[in-house]
Structure 1
Amino acid sequence: MTASSRPLAARERAELADLLERLGPDAPTCCAGWSTAHLAAHLVVRERRPDALPGLGVEQLGVARPLTAWSHRLEDRLRTSTPFPEVVGRLRAGPPAWSPMGLPGLADAVNTAEFVIHHEDVRRAQPDWTARTLDRADQDRLWGAAVLFARRQRGGAVLRRTDVPADAKRIGGGGTAVAGEPLELLLWAAGRRDVARVTGS
């Protein structure tokens, strides 16, 4: 299997691990209050601690609950007790066979947006970052993820692809109209408004 034929989630995982190794544990990210060490620990706990998943799930909904506090304690414990290169090594290796995140089919479905967004969280927090060019197949995959994430937008939204001008999606009652490539729309919908290259937001 060539690099380009590997699933997008697998490629993003590998590239993110490479970037984390290069930057080290103290580099900034686009996640408020998180260094690269925090982000790496989050991704590893997500895949290796099923008891963290409920808390991470309600956090995605913007709800503060005791379960979320438990998930963060697990992340902090890993980050402070395990050398950063080892954490990155676990991230690169992927979930163990017993993890729900390792189930065939599920892993790619739940990891694609996660790894793309967090890869960009690290990339775009660095002073010399530049936008990436993704091929059409990858952008098509991210289009679906962007629409899914935009469903959280209060008041609805209208997403328009600039790489495929006829492609647009109205979510809810419409509301905010935003145009960009699917990667950029996904970042916008995931709350990365300061770094997403979109128009109309």
Structure 2
Amino acid sequence: MSLAHDERLALVATMTSVGPEAPTLCAGWTTRDLAAHLILRERRLDAAPGILVAPLAGHTARVQAGIAARPYPELLKLVRTGPPAWSPLRWFDAQANLGEMFVHHEDVRRAGAGWEPRDLGADWDGPLWSLAKRMTRMAFRRAPCTVVVEAGEGRRVIPRQVAGADQVTVVGTPPELVLYGFGRDAVRVALDGPDRAVAAVRALTRGV
């Protein structure tokens, strides 16, 4: 088993406990919609490209709505089961789904008031730091200033460097940096730098 598999089961357990109409951090989506998204991504290769490709998004939305109309227990069973044998994601689950399951689990956990970061344990630290480095390169690629990301314990990366510009330092643990890189704002990160540069970084459209 892998961290991605364990997180999939934890996500399903949380989605079971909060029910099908609970809010998520994905704008306009309930837990039912989020489950439908995960199923589409893993089981409808004809519709999955529309998740990222805008001209195909209409077909993706229609397929997702059809999936979401199924009974909630059926949706959770399909999420729990994971990609079928014919899906490419089946063979790369540990690599392709760690971020997906972690971020969407937090989308459910952090949608309401009173959330706290989980204590994930040491096994998560390295994989999430590796993912944070990749995601922050994408998140800050259009920043008008230099961006430095720090995760403590000497871990530091510069995902964006602009000669002669101000510098903003983003500090957080690897899980929080992953979530910030994926475009979430319900996170515990600190941004340090000149006010105008910090405001510009906060205003960036982050995520995939």
Distance in structure 2 (CA, Å) of the matches to 1:150 and 1:69? 29
Partner of 1:121: 107
Partner of 2:10: 15
Partner of 2:190: 199
The answer on 1:94 being equivalent to 2:82 is yes
Tell me if structure 2 keeps the 8 A contact 1:113–1:145: yes
Which letter does structure 2 place at the counterpart of 1:137?
A: D
Distance in structure 1 (CA, Å) of the matches to 2:2 and 2:77? 20
Could you list the runs of 5+ residues in structure 2 that have no partner in the other structure? 192-201, 203-208
Provide Cα deviations, 1:145-174, integer angstroms capped at 9, x if missing partner: 111111222226321003x2x110101216
- Runs of 4+ displaced beyond 4 Å: none
The answer on 1:38 being equivalent to 2:33 is yes
Distance in structure 2 (CA, Å) of the matches to 1:24 and 1:179? 34
For 1:64-75, list aligned pairs within 5 A. Answer: 65-75=54-64
Q: CA deviation at 1:66?
A: 2.2
Q: How many residue pairs were aligned? A: 184
The TM-score, its normalising length taken from structure 1, stands at 0.86
Partner of 1:185: 177
Identity, in percent, stands at 39
Determine helix, strand or coil for the equivalent of 1:51.
coil
For 1:107-146, list aligned pairs within 5 A. Answer: 107-146=93-132
Determine helix, strand or coil for the equivalent of 2:52.
helix
Q: CA deviation at 1:52?
A: 2.1
Partner of 1:25: 20
Provide Cα deviations, 1:88-115, integer angstroms capped at 9, x if missing partner: 1100011110011112xx2111100011
Q: CA deviation at 1:13?
A: 0.3
Partner of 1:168: 156
Could you list the runs of 5+ residues in structure 1 that have no partner in the other structure? 1-5, 59-64
Distance in structure 2 (CA, Å) of the matches to 1:176 and 1:196? 17
Gap change, CA 1:176 and 1:71, over 3 Å in 2: farther
Distance in structure 2 (CA, Å) of the matches to 1:100 and 1:57? 17
Distance in structure 1 (CA, Å) of the matches to 2:19 and 2:161? 44
Determine helix, strand or coil for the equivalent of 2:78.
helix
Which letter does structure 2 place at the counterpart of 1:188?
A: Y
CA root-mean-square deviation: 1.5
Distance in structure 1 (CA, Å) of the matches to 2:168 and 2:3? 29
Which letter does structure 2 place at the counterpart of 1:29?
A: T
The TM-score, its normalising length taken from structure 2, stands at 0.84
Distance in structure 1 (CA, Å) of the matches to 2:147 and 2:6? 30
Determine helix, strand or coil for the equivalent of 2:97.
helix
Name which one, 1 or 2, has greater alpha-carbon Rg.
2
